[in-house]
Amino acid sequence: MIRLAISVVLLCQAHLYAQGPQPPCGKGSVPPYPALDSPPIVTFWSESDFGHDWRPPACTGWSEVGFSTLITTVARFRYTSGEDGLLRHIGAISELAGMRYWSTTHKQWLTLIVDAYASIGSRSPQRRDDFTPDEMQQGKVLYLEQVDNLSGKAIYRMHIAEASADRLVFDVENVSLMRYFFVTLFHPGDVQSVYFLDRESGNTWRYYSIARTGRNASRLTTGHESSSINRAVAFYRSLVGIPTDQEPPAAR
């Protein structure tokens, strides 16, 4: 009976995974959340899992089908400063500078985000102070510039989709070209991510992120599973207040 029960659970999980990732939008999340204080579950999805023309869940706001890279990160974490503290931390764009990740190529911790700052608009690189919680209201669109150690400098749009005492949802995408030297890696809108933060109870929160690069992204950026996982974990750690270079890394 125990073996039968385990087999049924595994079959159900396989069926859910075959449908692709599912953010927490009126349905149970896929992948499911791990136990509180456990390491995040990071899944690197393959086109072979559910087809070339995968259609994103409606609550992501993504209209294009398919992907070249698709990653989900799910976790439970403790946070004592409430939704205002989370908004203040998310809006502190300058604090992203110096974020580190484990490079599986170089076998060491490297700086992932060389520089980052809030900007005054989509066409202007002019710096401004970090965003305040009062600015990060539902429906608000904000802009930031970020310098990645590989893909270089780019302007991003951050949209606050939901902002309440128990739920924060925001999405980020590039609005400028991203190049490596003279090679275009990503066109505008090719790099997208959505973050769902839900209060479970008291100081316990759930974290779900889904990130993808579009099908037209350069082939130079695809197939780096371990590196992509470590980058996703770095952003999770940064958001929830864990040192981004804390041992062990998610993938060696």
Q: CATH number of the domain that 149 lies in? A: 3.30.530.20
Question: Is there a domain that residue 13 lies in?
Answer: no
Per-residue pLDDT at 19: 73
Can you give the residue range of the structural domain that contains 147?
31-240
Total structural domains within the chain: 1
Question: Is there a domain that residue 20 lies in?
Answer: no
Per-residue pLDDT at 211: 97
Question: Is there a domain that residue 7 lies in?
Answer: no
Question: Is there a domain that residue 113 lies in?
Answer: yes
Per-residue pLDDT at 9: 36
Per-residue pLDDT at 181: 78
Question: Is there a domain that residue 14 lies in?
Answer: no
Q: What distance in Å separates the CA atoms of residue 69 and residue 167, rounded to the nearest whole number?
A: 27
Question: Is there a domain that residue 26 lies in?
Answer: no
Question: Is there a domain that residue 184 lies in?
Answer: yes
Per-residue pLDDT at 169: 98
pLDDT per residue as tens, the chain (252 positions): 544 433 333 344 444 566 789 999 988 899 999 999 899 999 999 877 777 789 999 999 999 999 999 999 999 999 999 999 999 999 999 999 999 999 999 999 999 999 999 999 887 778 999 999 999 999 999 999 999 998 889 999 999 999 999 999 999 999 999 987 778 999 999 999 999 999 999 999 999 999 999 988 888 888 889 999 999 999 999 999 999 999 999 998
**Beta strand spans in 50-175 (E):** 69-78, 100-103, 108-111, 113-121, 124-128, 141-148, 152-163, 167-174
Question: Is there a domain that residue 175 lies in?
Answer: yes
- Nearest Cα neighbor of 193 from 175, 210, 215, 217 is 210
Supply φ then ψ for residue 175, to 5 degrees: -115, 5
Per-residue pLDDT at 52: 76
Per-residue pLDDT at 7: 38
